[in-house]
Amino acid sequence: RMDLCDDPANTHITAMLEVPGMKPEQLSVRIEGGRLIPTQNASSEPETSTPQPLYPVQELKYGKFRREIDLPVGVNASDIRSSLVEGMLTIQWPRNP
């Protein structure tokens, strides 16, 4: 899930994505065709050496993700800032580069 904050009073646009349990090396953020593309590079499914039990309820989702966000014309990779804190990936870029 993602929140996108595009407040005209701010100089930057901010995207906040839920990525619980992800480590920085499992995530990448790149620009392609004028779009910001955050992706997960590896599965987030917990690794275990024991056989998987049968779950009467299984609501947790595992797997990779990819999101595409349109960027203002002129935004370069050097303009983008990102951080990962407590399962939240925050990405910022200038409103008017």
Listed residue (81, 75, 91, 92) closest to 34, CA to CA: 75
Q: What is the pLDDT of residue 46?
A: 58
pLDDT per residue as tens, the chain (97 positions): 899 999 999 999 999 999 988 889 999 999 999 999 999 886 655 565 556 677 788 776 667 889 999 999 999 899 999 999 999 999 999 988 6
Domain that holds residue 83: 2-43+62-87
pLDDT at 57: 80
User: What is the CATH classification number for the domain harbouring 38?
Assistant: 2.60.40
pLDDT given for residue 45 in this prediction: 58
Inside any domain, residue 95? no
Residue 53 lies in a domain: no
Q: Is residue 6 part of a domain?
A: yes
CA distance 54 to 57: 9
pLDDT of residue 22: 87
Number of domains in the chain: 1
Burial of 38 (C-beta count, 10 Å sphere; 0-12/13-18/19+): buried
